[in-house]
Amino acid sequence: MIIVHHLNNSRSQRVLWMLEELELPYQIVRYQREPTMLAPEALKKVHPLGKSPVLEDNGNIIAESGAILEYLQETYDNESRLKPIAAQDKLQYRFWLHYAEGSLMPLLMMKLVFGRLGKAPVPWLLRPVGKALGQGIQKAYLNKQLATHARFIDDYLGKTPWFAGQAFSVADIQMSFPLIALLARGNINDLPNLQAWVKNAQMRPAWQRAVQQGGPFDIPGG
């Protein structure tokens, strides 16, 4: 039995979605974030990094959502329903699989961190300074970077319905978390193609089943 170590409102939602797309049976072990938004210490008993998601399957313990998704595709997607065949689509597939965590999520994590410098657990005496620092960095750097990335993604999705061409793929599952976070944290308007992609993704029956299994999915804003 496949076991998913699932943290609420986290990247592990993508793993549940992938499993539902593949129609594989699985078991969920649930964890709740600490008040600091960090994962609980209990996850370190599963993997030394103490992060989620972690997948257990056939004696393997696999961390990192991208690695998990690729493992599931290579192991269980025997008909390659979730990976493109055409060479050009494969290039896009590979790019978006790595872009999601390599380029986009670091900016979104910075947005979240700097947006919370004026809040607990920062000591209350330091919160005014933290708030001013966080707002300054966002205005001078982060917001501009996120706007560039958002426009890049929206322009691309104006040419193709899914990230690896005409068919839904693992690249779409991998991009789901940062795109929903981008809409929550980016303070960016006029992204019709990106918003349409999110709407279409969330209309998929497998997405809806994954949310039912994993619980409410609400990524905090910055």
pLDDT digit string (tens) for 48-94? 998 889 999 999 999 999 999 999 999 999 999 999 999 999 999 99
Neighbours of 6 (CB within 10 A): 23
The residue-averaged pLDDT of 5-28 equals: 93
What is the assigned CATH class of domain 2-81?
alpha beta
Neighbours of 183 (CB within 10 A): 17
Summarize pLDDT for 142-196 with one digit per residue, the tens. 889 999 999 999 999 999 999 999 999 999 999 999 999 898 866 667 899 999 9
The per-residue pLDDT for 68 is 97
What is the assigned CATH class of domain 87-204?
mainly alpha
Q: Which residues pair with 57 in a beta bridge?
A: 60
The residue-averaged pLDDT of 1-9 equals: 90
Rg (CA), the chain: 18
Check whether 38 has a pLDDT greater than 80: no
Neighbours of 25 (CB within 10 A): 7
Q: Which residues pair with 58 in a beta bridge?
A: none
Name residue 80's amino acid: S
Check whether 13 has a pLDDT greater than 70: yes
Neighbours of 100 (CB within 10 A): 23
Residue 110 in tokens: 């910075």
Check whether 20 has a pLDDT greater than 90: yes
Locate the domains of the chain by residue range: 2-81, 87-204
Summarize pLDDT for 86-145 with one digit per residue, the tens. 999 999 999 999 999 999 999 998 888 777 767 777 766 667 766 776 677 777 788 899
Contacts of 58 (CB under 8 A, 6+ apart): none
Check whether 219 has a pLDDT greater than 90: no
Question: What is the rounded distance in angstroms from the CA atom of residue 180 to the CA atom of residue 195?
Answer: 9
Check whether 222 has a pLDDT greater than 60: no
User: Which spans in 30-187 are helix H?
Assistant: 65-76, 87-99, 105-115, 127-137, 143-157, 170-185
The residue-averaged pLDDT of 39-49 equals: 88
